[in-house]
Structure 1
Amino acid sequence: MAAQPSTAPLRAPTPSVTGQPTASPVALSPIPLPDSLNYIGLFLTLECNLNCSYCINDPQQLGRRNALFPMDGKSARKGLTPEQWVAALRRLPFRPGLPITLQGGEPMLYWGGQGLGLILSQVPHYFDLLTNFALKPEVFARYLNGQQAKLQRDAPYPSIRVSYHADEMNRAWNGRGFEALVARCEALRDYGFRISPRKADSDVGIYMVEHPQNRVTAEMKAAYEGRVPFETKEFLGVHDGKLYGRYLYPFSTDLIARGIYPTTLQCECRTTELLIDPMGFVWGCHYYLYEGWSHGGPLREFAALEQEGFRYARHGARIFAGRAMAPVGHLLDPDFAMAELEVFRPCKQYGRCIGCDTKIKNDRFQSYYDRGIPHTSVQIRNIHMPADLLGQIDNLEQTRRFFSATAKEATPMNNALPAAAARKRVLIIKPGYGETLDPDNSGMVSLGDILRTTVILHLFPPQDYHVTWVVDQKGVALLKGNPFIDRLLVINPFTPHLLLSEWFDIVVNFEREPGICAVSDRIPAWRRYGFRLDAQTHTAVCYDHADEALSFTTDAEAKRRKAKSWSEILYEMLGHRYAGQSYVLGYQPRSAISHDVGLNHLIGHKFPLKRWPEPYWQALHDELATSYSVDWQQGANDIEDYIEWIAGCRLLVTNDSLGLHIALGLGKPVIALFGPTVAGEIDGPNLTRITPPLPWDCIPCVESSCSQATPCMQHIPVQMVGAAVRAQLSRQA
């Protein structure tokens, strides 16, 4: 029995005998596997020595195998090095009943034939091998480096499953293809393998696909009987307009191939298998994997990801931005977790599914034959089935549960969609529990942070985007009626369950609370921005473009010295350049201007140091009241009343608080007083910033307590503020 692998953190390999470049060493922790995982498929290479007319790697079965996966270009790097595979596979826990299935292409060709032995000798797992026996038996055995036991396990079928391809093998072996294949299998007995005509007692067996053009001849039967196991396997797909195989989801494989519908359909899907391509990318289904590798594969993307230490969760969206089909992760990503496979993701290719993904079959627990529970490699839901196809489905009542609630209204992908469906779906997660660029973890709702996040809404014009915003109940009044927001989702204990049942084109998460990050990461989406969860440390980390923003929450000095506004940083987190866009208020006040100056003197409980002393406010009132109409802050207990009061001010004098952001959102001239907070974070066309005229290095301290004898806000003179008010009102006049 193979030994249990160590649970100590591993490290990605550095160059050794292979001479191949690899990333710098990065600690790699084991990846827990769910008990329900049914299959681990490792495509060591997609190159093959045969060019069969029928090949599962050629989704449309057009005889293009050599064109899609050419054998030339030997200098091009087309797979992980053996050292990298060892580092990746050692992350997977050893399970005797869950082998790693090596396939391709032809896996015997990997690394010049020597790759299998190099990998098997360094990992504890059992392996299955799907092969056409490209190497001679003695060469294959020599390259295994004595690792035969890794291909021998207690199972009801052979671990080495050899496929027979009549046309190609008869061509290669002078018309004696099947006899030569049987002889090669039998010869493995001399190299430590069990060979028996009973498949349960044999390490090797021969299989042939039941393609309509394939026949089991009398000569073949005479060749294998009493020597090696031989079986036929169900042909899956379309041949001469006929569909072969039994499938759970209607038209999943033949919608396009049989001309049933002119375009593919939308759906959501997830895999029950761990599918790994030659570069270590993890894919959501066989179709995406094969199409992702057609005509060369993601070689440039791999090179870019390698430069980033294989951190696909952080950089994958950017690196694969130009590709229609992208993987779900990478096995050398320190942050990769099997939870990525549990997410239902939006797909626009329903109707081109590979037969092995949607056929009804057993899982490794015999669920179908023993309990009548159909298993498929890919689970699919919310299929946008056109109404005119429903009448062609024989088992409509049994399969209706897989269709979207609006299936009767579904339309083909290339036709004009209804306006709402044509818009991209965006989810913004900003309930306000933690300020985006502050190390705040108080859990108190920051209404100001919610409001200033609305600046990003300009990136999602209503004619092109359908926006859902997740918000705390306290923030609803700020966002209600916002012309950019289609749905306000007030957060409650059931909100995560609702979001996990939906899908979005874009998810923006500006909350760092680990529980929120964990839910956000699992919501089906094409693109993600902001913060995510580190599966190892259970803390918030960031997606592309948000590294600087995250640093401000952990490095007080970086936050103090930053030279960018809050709005500018939010735009950069989404990969855009800020150009002076304003906040977008939901509530639209009706008040006319009723007084010249509003004194917004109150402050929230979270940061009392921001408040200018009350006697100073009174002195300012008395000074200004001789020349202007001055009013004290109103609406402290009602957001709408508060907005109406600010709307009635010609100019607002304010602490660094919610009122400051509301006034900027309304386009008001503002005199803002800053001390412990960063004045440069706020900008606006009519904003005047006043800071304490002090040489103190601690300003701004970004702290909730003061180390000085008197807080800095007490050093802002009333006369300075009064002069700024008079100057601003003179300019307005």
Structure 2
Amino acid sequence: MKKQIYQSCKFFKTDMPCIYHKKDGRICSECSDFRETTGTILIIKKDAAGDVLRTTAILEPLKRKMPDHRIIWLTAETNKDVLSGNPYIDEIWTPSFETSQAISFLKFDTVINLDLSPDCLITAATAKADKFYGFKYKKDGSVSCSNKSAEEWFLISHNDGLKKANRKTYQQFITEIAELPCYGEIIVPLQKPSIEKANIFAKKHHLAGKKVIGIHTGSGSKWPTKRWHERNIIQLIKMLAKKKYPVLLFGGMEEKDIMEKIIKNVRGHLVNTGYNNTIPDFFALLDLCDVVITADTLALHIATGLKKKVVALFGPTSPYEIADYGRVEKVITPLDCFCCYKRECNKKPFCMEEIHPETVFSKIEKIL
């Protein structure tokens, strides 16, 4: 029986027949789709959603370096949909007792941990691997960094002054930490049902053949200081309306009140995409846009991965960590206190309010 089942195949499952057996009943010895795997790579990156997504930039070069390895990615349950459908990932694992058991029991060829949260550090420390890149706990509770680039990232992660002075992108850092020759594109998987829903949405609102502008209104509850004020968004939409550009408004339940206020104050070419879209639907709706205006949020990384033209707004966080791929126009607050990494701020004027809609509009006109 063991000789009849090729356990080294990329498509092998321990508890069920593989996809090709289920498709047409073929057995291992007769299968032309057999793919030999020579090892397993475990990537640990759980939070936050935007960071998980932009970390996918290491997958293309990693697969080129180790084409016959399986890739397992450990992420938070809430971020599973960010990775679902990614062609470079063989399995997505989420934290559980069983997952912890598997990681401590199995032997990996390579473990890459790019997450500094305590649970990820202990997970990385318990994983057995021939090669390790990134961060893990030592027995004394201190953090071990695998190379100089990991040490540099660790230092700037704990010093806002160094964050502000840094000029290397996040993608540069993770590429160096993983000892890869380059980084690739951010990979945004589009699901067929979500594409179909987005196409219906586009047809309903007569978007075909038009230059569509997407505006993401939020920043999430953890980073309210990143949010561009709705007063500026309203002014920008009115300027876009004069040019007859259709505008899609994006946000979640946390932005519902803001979005309704914007809609109340603007008429014409504004379409609300909804407040409670799934991650796959959010991906597909953003894909309808030609230009996306967003703060430093998940939407920025999605739009970049979808190869959209992006106008990105920066106040409390670093614009220099963002890889622009030749598609991102960065608008930085003129205030000297930018890149403070404060999640609460009572200063007047406030940094994001000082990004004027006229400046953003000129960037849109430039890249369209």
TM-score grouping bracket, smaller chain normalisation? 0.7 to 0.9
Aligned to 2:135: 531
Aligned to 1:424: 39
Aligned to 1:556: 160
Q: Which amino acid aligns with 2:186?
A: Y
**What is the CA distance between 1:423 and its match in structure 2?**
3.1
Change (3 A) 1:465 1:636: farther
**Partners of 1:486 and 1:631 in 2: CA distance:** 34
The answer to whether the aligner puts 1:601 opposite 2:217 as a matched pair is: yes
The answer to whether the aligner puts 1:632 opposite 2:273 as a matched pair is: no
- CA deviations 1:667-708 (Å, max 9, x no partner) are 0000010011101111222110001133x2x22112212363
Residues 17-96 of structure 1 aligned to structure 2 (within 5 Å): none
Within the candidate set 190, 201, 214, 1:587 is matched to: 190
**Partners of 2:87 and 2:312 in 1: CA distance:** 28
**Structure 2: which 5+ residue stretches go unaligned?**
5-13, 16-32, 251-272
CA contact (8 A) 1:420 1:466 kept: no
Within the candidate set 301, 325, 334, 1:693 is matched to: 334
CA contact (8 A) 1:571 1:578 kept: yes
Aligned to 1:572: 176
Residues 210-359 of structure 1 aligned to structure 2 (within 5 Å): none
CA contact (8 A) 1:564 1:681 kept: yes
Corresponding residue pairs, total: 300
**Partners of 1:605 and 1:616 in 2: CA distance:** 20
CA contact (8 A) 2:296 2:312 kept: yes
Aligned to 1:476: 80
CA contact (8 A) 1:612 1:714 kept: yes
Within the candidate set 331, 334, 356, 1:717 is matched to: 356
CA contact (8 A) 1:635 1:641 kept: no
Q: Which amino acid aligns with 1:723?
A: S
Aligned to 1:456: 58
**Partners of 2:53 and 2:340 in 1: CA distance:** 24
Change (3 A) 1:455 1:700: same
Q: Which amino acid aligns with 2:39?
A: K
Q: Which amino acid aligns with 1:648?
A: L
Within the candidate set 287, 311, 317, 1:647 is matched to: 287
CA contact (8 A) 1:635 1:645 kept: no
Q: Aligned Cα RMSD in Å?
A: 2.2
**Partners of 1:686 and 1:607 in 2: CA distance:** 24
**What is the CA distance between 1:459 and its match in structure 2?**
2.4
**Structure 1: which 5+ residue stretches go unaligned?**
1-385, 389-404, 407-417, 433-445
The answer to whether the aligner puts 1:614 opposite 2:254 as a matched pair is: no
CA contact (8 A) 2:62 2:180 kept: no
Q: Which amino acid aligns with 2:144?
A: V
Q: Which amino acid aligns with 2:62?
A: F
**Secondary structure of the corresponding residue to residue 546 of structure 1:** helix
**Partners of 1:508 and 1:455 in 2: CA distance:** 13
Q: Which amino acid aligns with 2:163?
A: K
**Partners of 1:636 and 1:568 in 2: CA distance:** 34
Q: Which amino acid aligns with 1:476?
A: K
Q: Which amino acid aligns with 1:611?
A: R
Aligned to 2:117: 513
In terms of Rg, which structure is larger? 1
**Secondary structure of the corresponding residue to residue 320 of structure 2:** helix
Kindly indicate whether structure 1 or structure 2 has the higher relative contact order, using CA contacts under 8 Å at least 6 residues apart: 2
**What is the CA distance between 1:496 and its match in structure 2?**
0.6
**What is the CA distance between 1:540 and its match in structure 2?**
2.8
Change (3 A) 1:585 1:553: same
Change (3 A) 1:539 1:711: farther
**Secondary structure of the corresponding residue to residue 554 of structure 1:** coil
CA contact (8 A) 2:86 2:187 kept: yes
**Partners of 2:320 and 2:223 in 1: CA distance:** 18
* Identity across matched positions, percent: 28
**Partners of 1:458 and 1:387 in 2: CA distance:** 33
CA contact (8 A) 1:517 1:533 kept: yes
CA contact (8 A) 1:477 1:586 kept: no
Structure with higher helix content: 2
Change (3 A) 1:587 1:493: farther
**What is the CA distance between 1:551 and its match in structure 2?**
0.8
Q: Which amino acid aligns with 2:215?
A: L
**Partners of 2:315 and 2:123 in 1: CA distance:** 37
- CA deviations 1:357-398 (Å, max 9, x no partner) are xxxxxxxxxxxxxxxxxxxxxxxxxxxxx869xxxxxxxxxx
CA contact (8 A) 1:514 1:539 kept: no
- CA deviations 1:597-646 (Å, max 9, x no partner) are 01111221111100110111011111101211112113543212211210
Q: Which amino acid aligns with 1:608?
A: P
**Secondary structure of the corresponding residue to residue 575 of structure 1:** coil
**What is the CA distance between 1:522 and its match in structure 2?**
2.2
Extract structure 1 runs of 4+ deviating beyond 4 A: 418-421
